[in-house]
Structure 1
Amino acid sequence: MSKEELRKQHQAELARQKNEETARRLAGGGSAGAEGRGPVRTSSELIAYKNANDIPFSKELAIQVDQKNESILLPIYGSMVPFHVSTVKSVTSHQDNRTCTIRIIFNVPGTPFTPHDANSLKFPGATYLKEITFRSKDPRHSSEVVQLIKTLRRHVASRESERAERATLVTQEKLQVSGNRMKLIKLPDLWIRPSFGGRGRKLTGTLEAHVNGFRYATSRPDERVDIMFANVKHAFFQPAEREMITLLHFHLHNHIMVGNKKTKDVQFYVEVMDVVQTLGGGRRSALDPDEIEEEQRERERKNRINMEFQNFVNKVHDLWAQPQFKGLDLEFDMPLRELGFHGVPHKSSAFIVPTSTCLVELIETPFLVVTLSEIEIVNLERVGFGQKNFDMAIVFKDFKRDVLRIDSIPSSSVDGIKEWLDTTDLKYYESRLNLNWRPILKTITEDPEKFIEDGGWEFLNMEASDSDSENTEESDQGYEPSDVEPESASDDEGNDSESLVESDEDEEDSEDSEEEKGKTWEELEREASNADREKGDESDSEDEKRRRKAKALGKSRIPDRRDPKGAPPKRPKFK
């Protein structure tokens, strides 16, 4: 059997196994691999001041901003009324020729795009202030107050969002720092992605492997990340070959905070060559000794960095080989570049590379890490003749998860992708159009029994549908009425064939007889000229006929000047 036939046979077996597995999972209630999403903790009540004595006293009735208590004091009917800055939705100022107007809009529960806070549930019958406007003759003070309110509001909003994200994090175990600093496994001068926040200059850090996890730290005390071994789902080591960086990438089970960002992917990398090149100084020759020396220096630096990363990975592998880490099944995976292909997983084109357990893209952000064991099926869309590109739709076992699309894959990569999917025991289908997967998955989850009865994923099998249509066409062509007898039909066919043969022989005899009694060339020319004349007379209009007739009469009446008697001239003799 050829390689294509073996692949089709294996895919048919995978389709049977996949339908059985999906039927068992749907019958068991739910989709496998669903991530546990805990309820988001609601923020506590926002209190500006616990009692009236804490409100700062002010003789001047003007808008004030209390940075310490995160509140603003507004003069309303001769009294200073405090509001927490989180209740402010927006603040704007408008300056006229003489006065300046400050407009403050508050968050009111029940309005569109405004969530219900704890106070609306606690005081359901309360009346809320929605908007207030002040006029001032001091534009300097007005602009200063508006700027302070906006800055304080932005600071409180970022802190509350970070607190809400931290509330959904899974509590990690504490890092056990290794006591022996001499035998510590570490890799210096690394950059981290995602980077820490802040406006200061970014610094490189050191990655250290301790008793139960990694720690990355810079010289700043607040820039520190701990990654526990138990939280590592996949670890990747990608040396620089055609890229500018050598990297270590960790894909985690649960989110962690890197600075003020919540992430599941943490990457440490080193640039093996300068990304920025100096342009100028004219064109340099390929045989320039300085150019050759620079390339040699870059090659040596790349090899040295790759070797340092490889030594770190080997030492960590020895650490993970200890009995307490056997159950975690941890190892650094390396991408298989020969199986890679170009595609658009997010917004820009990238080089996507398979590994033994995943499909990854670790150079461009946002990163792409797809676990192969979580994939249900793969559908190759827009596959057909004349197409330069096709798309890949990855359906996960968790049907609540959105289908991942990798667009604009070159058609030259389709055979390699099919071979890779088949060797990794992943069932794939082909279609000529893009499918809308959300309603398809919704229909499957709403009525799984009907999905199983209809053959499962075989509705995507394009070859089976084509063979069914061919079978229907053959059945239509082979249909015969029941009242027709086969013998009479065969007799009629024989008679028809005999009559056809006889008529052909009669035609041949008549043609031979006509050729024997053929007309001469003069007769044929005469008939042709008469036919042309008749056709011209029929097609000409009445005016043309009259004009032709008058012209002929005029020629016959004009005498020849050389003949006094008016006799027609003699026709010349042609040789």
Structure 2
Amino acid sequence: MNIWLLGYEFPETIMIFGEKQINFLCSQKKASLLEAVRETVQDVIGADIIMHVKAKSEDGTTQMDAILHSISSQRKSPVIGYIAKEAPEGKLLETWADKLKNSGLQLGDITHGISDILAVKDQNEIMNVKKAAYLTASTLKNFVVPKLEKVIDEEKKVTHSSLTDETEKAMLEPAKVKVKLKSDNIDICYPPIFQSGEKFDLRPSAVSDDDTLYYDSASVIICAVGSRYNSYCSNVARTFLIDSIPMQSKAYEVLLKAHEAAIDALKQGNKISAVYQAALAVVEREAPELVSNLTKTAGTGIGLEFRESGLLLNSRNDKVLKAGMVFNVSLGFQNVVAKTSKLKRNFSLLLADTVIVTSEGRNVVTQLISKALKEVAYSFNEDEEEEKLKVKAESISKEALQSKATLRSDNQEISKEELRRQHQAELARQKNEETARRLAGDGVANGDNRSAVRASSDLVAYKNVNDLPPTPKEMMVQVDQKNEALLLPIYGSMVPFHISTVKTVTSQADTSRHSYIRIIFNVPGMPFASSDANVSKNQSAIYLKEVSYRSKDSRHITELNQQIKTLRRNVMARESERAERATLVTQEKLVVAGNKFKPVRLPDLWIRPSFGGRARKLPGTLEAHMNGFRYSTTRQDERVDIMYGNVKHAFFQPAEKEMITLLHFHLHNHIMVGNKKTKDVQFYVEVMDVVQTLGGGKRSAYDPDEIEEEQRERDRKNKINMDFQNFANRGERYLDPTAVQGSRPGIRSTAQRAWVSWCSLQIISLHSSNIMLFG
């Protein structure tokens, strides 16, 4: 209440509000600060302020008696309202609480009334919530996610509590998470929460334990982060799936739909109970077996308090939603029993976002960190991923077959069986043709992506025996990074294996202080093994399927395991990129404009998709040359050429209702941006900062500095829009850029759908961009 009323916290201060008087009991220093509101209170509500100053040596009982006497003299039977749920802190407040109980006056709990007053936030409060939400989401996106990816990728051992400490430090230093906010105004709502393994607690009061982060196959990691800006709270929680099983993926998709349904129900005029009912309806429809695991609430109101109890999102709260209310929409599945041996016992899922109710709908202010399944599901086991893809392809074929077999005939079952036999015959024919081509030495060609897999004859680590490294004195497993080979001691000799022949490698320790490393190779006959023409040619060859080694040096085994996995991952990534590049349509070479014809340039742009990598992202320059565009940064390897003839559609979207101005190119044929294959490339500039520091104080709408700052923002936005427009206009000689003519809000998110004369499109979010033609 102190912060909401006065903008500052006044500890050891008692405030009593009456119809005609406001009494303050505090020290002399606080009384001098509170004198500033005397005239304002008198002019606005016509009440007098009475100061009761307590000396340091006094306990305040004399002043308390004077206040109670004043209250009793104003009415015959006065009722004193107080916040019952808050325990008094400090000796002064404890003495006051005892005085009230023994005064004989009637007391009433006004907790819900105060909650209703604080429920609807004004514009300054909304801005504080947005800044807190931006900090929270940025912490999760720019620190937590990269940290987890690095830990899992390098197989480090870290505890939940250590992750909590590191995340808290990063949040309190906003520059570390790429946020421009004053650290003096920042605090945490609660220590960040990290949970994994088999112990999950989805309550807001949960804490991180000292257990080691568990990220084996089919594991779940829950992260929850909450921050404050100028004492206003925000919260976000995400669940990350590691090599998830189908049951986990389905449960997450159901939770995601339920969470979106709850957010969609946050509309002005709806009852609060409709929010939880919307989420419950989705779970009952999509996965009724998970209803018992659903959390009993969908979150609470949030603001100066992390949990505004009067705005609990459950099925019994019939209060009406109003514009300006802010909610922490938190939904999860607790202790779902897994039907697989991969999990220890059970798993839990949690999603939370900070949402503002507006007159036009709702605003998810933590949407910076995505919660889509493809963004939170990580796959580190390539072989299992291939198996899933094959099973998925088979299921799609079956679904297509079932749809074709839906006939209005009495002989429907016979039709299905006939279609099945025809499908099996077609698969057999394709398999026979593929085998014939493979035996002929042509490989698997004609459109199959597996044609890019190298035959074993290409996997040559050493051309002759003399190229092998000298045999060490101690026969130990070695990794040759340069030649991409694994050297194994077998019967007194170092036998080389190309790293591409390794399927999996694992290490473990036993109770006798020995460590084991187990290496499994790709051999013929293994399920989902990569096709290799030499397997069919060399039917009589002998293959090594797996090998295990024991060592007393556990550290060496761990380092060896990491080296093999890293080398294999790098080689697989390189071969995958090589295969992607092999499928690209050959483009003409860029003719660079000479000194005589200076190219049109657009500097300080960002590109999507990004080049990738762990290095710091850099802006670049887009240039229009003789036969195409070139985008480049200061790094030599970050360069993209787009030929004019390869541009199918070009769109220019100025920053009207969005925070960015962009040029979007939809191409005829794929190109490579870094190591990513794409047909959509866009270049953009942020016209203004998403969050701006206002100095922490309240500023008037007519403040000259505020007006001047807003004018600078408008000038910058207009300049950027004009630069992009000029670039697009000067490019008309090579292609016909289409300017976006208008936009309207999307259905399921805050993204704007735009339109031109011949299509509707959404290109702000590139990962979900789409173009819908008219007519």
Q: TM-score, normalised by structure 1?
A: 0.54
Pairs within 5 Å for 1:522-541: none
Q: Distance in 1 between matches of 2:467 and 2:533?
A: 23
Q: Is the 8 A contact 2:652 2:662 kept in 1?
A: yes
Displacement, 1:221?
A: 1.1
Residues 225, 213 of structure 1: CA spacing in aligned structure 2 closer, same or farther, 3 A cutoff?
Answer: same
2:452 paired residue number: 42
Say whether the 8 Å CA contact 1:188–1:205 is kept in structure 2.
yes
C-alpha distance in 1 between matches for 2:701 and 2:539: 79
305-314 or 124-133: bigger deviation: 124-133
The equivalent of 1:111 in structure 2 is 526
Q: How does 1:17-416 map to 2 (within 5 A)?
A: 38-40=447-449, 41-44=451-454, 45-58=458-471, 59-96=473-510, 97-180=512-595, 183-278=598-693, 281-317=696-732, 319-320=733-734, 330-338=735-743, 340-344=744-748, 350-370=751-771, 372=773
CA distance in 1, matches of 2:575, 2:665: 28
TM-superposition CA deviations, 1:122-174 (whole Å, max 9, x none): 32343322221110122222222112111111111110110010000000000
**Structure-2 separation of matches of 1:284 and 1:108:** 71
Residues 44-53 or 154-163, more deviating:
44-53
Bigger RCO of structures 1 and 2 (CA < 8 A, at least 6 apart): 1
Q: Secondary structure at the match of 2:520?
A: strand
* Structure 2 Cα separation of the partners of residues 167 and 187 of structure 1: 31
C-alpha distance in 1 between matches for 2:650 and 2:702: 42
- 1:210, distance to aligned residue in structure 2 (A): 0.7
CA contact (8 A) 1:38 1:168 kept: no
SS of match in other structure, 1:68? coil
CA contact (8 A) 2:762 2:771 kept: no
Deviations 1:349-374 (A, max 9, x none): 632223233332111131423362xx
Q: Retained in 1: the 8 A contact 2:650–2:666? A: yes
- By how many angstroms is 1:312 displaced? 0.9
1-structure distance, mates of 2:540, 2:692: 67
Following TM superposition, the consecutive aligned residue runs of length 4 or more in structure 1 with deviations greater than 4 angstroms are none
Q: CA contact under 8 A between 2:453 and 2:530: conserved in structure 1?
A: no
**Residues 181 and 271 (structure 1), Cα distance of their counterparts in 2 relative to 1, 3 Å cut:** farther
Q: Partners of 2:500 and 2:708 in 1: how far apart?
A: 61
Distance change >3 Å, CA 181–CA 281, structure 1 → 2? farther
Q: Distance in 2 between matches of 1:304 and 1:296?
A: 12
Q: Does the aligned pair in 2 maintain the 1:359–1:368 contact within 8 Å?
A: no
Q: Does the Cα contact within 8 Å between 2:654 and 2:740 map onto a contact in 1? A: no
Matched AA of 1:337: G
1:283, 1:113 → 2: CA distance?
64
For 2:482 and 2:533, the matched residues in 1 are separated by 23
SS in structure 1 of the partner of residue 634 of structure 2: coil
CA distance in 2, matches of 1:126, 1:350: 59
In the alignment, structure 1 segments of 5+ residues that lack a partner are 1-36, 321-329, 373-423, 427-575
Q: Is the 8 A contact 1:251 1:369 kept in 2?
A: no
- 1:309 and 1:42 map into 2 onto residues whose CA distance is 40
> Deviation of residue 62 (structure 1)?
0.9
Q: Deviation digits for residues 457-489 of structure 1, max 9, x if unmatched?
A: xxxxxxxxxxxxxxxxxxxxxxxxxxxxxxxxx
One-letter amino acid of the counterpart of residue 353, structure 1: A
In structure 2, what is the Cα distance between the partners aligned to 1:196 and 1:235? 21
Change (3 A) 1:124 1:336: farther
| Partners of 2:608 and 2:766 within 8 A in 1 | no
Residues 1:124 and 1:358: Cα distance change in structure 2 (over 3 Å): farther
| Deviation for aligned residue 1:182 | 5.6
Gaps of at least 5 residues in structure 2 are: 1-445
Equivalent pair of 2:453/2:531 in contact (CA under 8 Å): no
Aligned equivalents of 1:272, 1:235: Cα separation in 2? 21
Cα distance, 1:227 vs. partner? 0.2
User: Amino acid of the residue matched to residue 747 of structure 2?
Assistant: G
Provide the rounded CA distance (Å) in 1 between the counterparts of 2:529 and 2:691.
46
Quote the Cα distance in structure 1 between the aligned partners of 2:525 and 2:692: 57
Corresponding residue of 2:249: none
CA distance in 1, matches of 2:627, 2:686: 28
Partners in 1 of 2:545 and 2:695 — Cα distance? Answer: 61
Aligned counterparts of 2:475 and 2:596: Cα–Cα separation in 1 = 62
1:355 partner letter = V
Distance 1:103 1:235 in 2: 53
Per-residue CA distance 1:295-323 (angstroms, 9 max, x = gap): 11101100011111111111111x22xxx
CA distance in 1, matches of 2:587, 2:568: 31
1:374-402 per-residue CA deviation (whole Å, 9 max, x = no partner) reads xxxxxxxxxxxxxxxxxxxxxxxxxxxxx
- CA 283–123 in structure 1, closer or farther in 2 if over 3 Å, else same: farther
1:43 maps to a residue whose letter is V
1:238, 1:107 → 2: CA distance? Answer: 50
The alignment yields a C-alpha RMSD, in angstroms, of 2.0
Cα distance in 1 for partners of 2:666, 2:501 equals 38
Deviation at 1:77, TM superposition (A): 2.1
Distance 1:233 1:371, change over 3 A: farther
Amino acid at match of 1:62: M
Give deviations 1:50-78, integer Å, cap 9, x for gaps: 22232222132110111111000111222
- Which amino acid letter does the alignment assign opposite residue 117 of structure 1? D
Q: Distance in 2 between matches of 1:172 and 1:39?
A: 22
CA–CA distance in structure 2, aligned partners of residues 181 and 135 of structure 1: 69
- Identity across aligned pairs (percent)? 66
Contact 1:343 1:351 in 2 (8 A): no
Q: Which letter maps to 1:42? A: A
Q: 2:736 is matched by which residue type in structure 1?
A: E
Give aligned pairs, total: 324
Q: Would the aligned equivalents of 1:343 and 1:352 in 2 still touch at CA under 8 Å?
A: no
Check 1:350–1:108 CA distance in 2 against 1; reply closer, same or farther (3 A cut): farther
Q: Aligned residue for 1:470?
A: none
Aligned residue for 1:121, secondary structure, equals helix
8 Å Cα contact 2:652/2:739 also seen in 1: yes
